[in-house]
Amino acid sequence: MFNTRIRVPETAAAGEAVEIRAMIMHPMDNGFTYSTQGTLIPVNIITDFTCRYLGEVVVQVRLEPGISANPIFTFSLRATESGPVEFEWIDQNGDVTTASADLTVT
Amino acid sequence: MRALAVLLLLAAPAQAEPVSGYDFLMPETQALQDDDFANPGLLWVDQGAALWAQEGCTGCHGDATGSMRGVGAHYPVWSDERDRIVTIDEQIDYCRTERLGLDPLPRGATDMTALDAYVMHQSRGLPVAVALDRPELTEAHARGEEYYYTPRGQLDLACADCHVTNEGMRLRGEVLSQGQANGFPIYRQLWQDIGSLDRMIRWCHESVRAAPPADDDPVWEDLELYLRARGNGLPVETPAVRR
């Protein structure tokens, strides 16, 4: 589990497009850099990011080594019903980091 | 050499008004720092908050948002109890080891920087107010200043050669700032990571091809005192975003 920061508005009007933001603390080592001791730092990245709303996948991203450290995703979501917004990050070793927040539609 | 440095110091014009490193950044970088969600330094502030509760800091200090407000802005301070100058990192680690019985954190450990960032973050917006109100502090300040103005390394550069003499000029693509310490720990884009003042000082040494002082050299405290006092009056920006 890595540290994450997510922002989901607490409430939204039905049909409103709300801004969702999600960030994870991760070095995203691209395999081309060297440590101060001169040894190559191996590739170490998050490979998948998924956001689900009401259990349905709304955003799915495959990450590659060219993405900078601590990647942040910002996207719009059309609010329809009250329910959970769930985030999932998977790293190259298959370790899963999750976070979620509830969105109430008024 | 030392006498020459002192002479140069006396001849130098009065220190310009302190200007935060923030004012030397591109608008995009400033916007990243000002964004209360996307500022990546906040990841470590969050980590510090978790450690604060988990390690038992709350036992004495309660909720840091109240108890630590303004505390970081005064560090480094003189400690009668320990008869020495104490930086914020050292005070945090002292609390952890002496009062909570935890193992000391190694210098530059992520947890250490996270706690530092969390405590300093509570003073965000308040002016840096390092007191130099006793002889031990003024003497240390003078030693820190001398270090700052002494050329070192294969490039034979003093800290002041960039951050005082050439402030506002360009070094390749970079604009040289005054090297103020009011935003530390900073999220540095070059590192893509958080870094304490300690890490930045090491980086500067490496850049002028000089060996940093030994870990137990008291000049670390002198230099931190000088650097922080140099920015007295500037708002604390922790976690600042820098290039």
Express each pLDDT in B92-143 by its tens digit: 999 999 999 999 999 889 999 999 999 999 999 999 999 999 999 999 999 9
Phi, psi of B193 (to 5 degrees): -160, 165
Long-range CB pairs of A3-6, under 8 A, 24+ apart, other chains included:
A3/B43, A3/B44, A3/B46, A3/B47, A4/A87, A4/A89, A4/A97, A4/A99, A5/B37, A5/B42, A5/B43, A5/B46, A6/A87, A6/A99, A6/A100, A6/A101
A vs B, Cβ pairs < 8 A, gives 32
Q: What is the tally of structural domains in chain A?
A: 1
pLDDT-based confidence at residue B9 (cuts at 50, 70, 90): very low
- Return d(Cα B75, Cα B98) in angstroms, integer: 19
Express each pLDDT in B137-171 by its tens digit: 999 999 999 999 999 999 999 999 999 999 999 98
Residue of B37, B42, B189 to mutate when probing chain A, most A C-beta within 10 A: B37
Q: Kindly state whether residue A25 falls inside one of the protein's structural domains.
A: yes
Smallest CA–CA distance, residue A27 to chain B, in Å, is: 7
Instruction: Tokens for B49, please give them.
Output: 């908050």
Structural contact between residues B239 and B41, judged by C-beta atoms closer than 8 angstroms? yes
B57 is catalytic: no
Are the beta carbons of B43 and A7 separated by less than 8 Å?
Answer: no
DSSP string, B110-149: HHHHHHHHHHHHTTTTSBP-----SHHHHHHHHHHHHHHH
Q: Kindly state whether residue A105 falls inside one of the protein's structural domains.
A: no
Interface predicted TM-score of the whole assembly (ipTM), two decimals: 0.90
CATH for A28: 2.60.40.10
Express each pLDDT in A8-34 by its tens digit: 999 999 999 999 999 999 999 999 999
DSSP code of B160?
A: H
Q: Which residues sit opposite A91 in a β-bridge?
A: A46
Q: Does residue B1 have a pLDDT over 60? A: no
Report the DSSP pairing between strands A17-24 and A4-7.
antiparallel
Smallest CA–CA distance, residue B132 to chain A, in Å, is: 37
Domains of chain B: 19-242 (1.10.760.10)
Q: Kindly state whether residue A46 falls inside one of the protein's structural domains.
A: yes
Residue of B192, B194, B199, B202 to mutate when probing chain A, most A C-beta within 10 A: B192
The answer for residues whose C-beta is within 8 angstroms of residue B37's C-beta and 6 or more apart is A5, A7, A21, A23
> Who among A7, A25, A27 is closest to B37 (CB)?
A7
Q: Kindly state whether residue A27 falls inside one of the protein's structural domains.
A: yes
Q: Domain of A54? A: 4-33+40-99
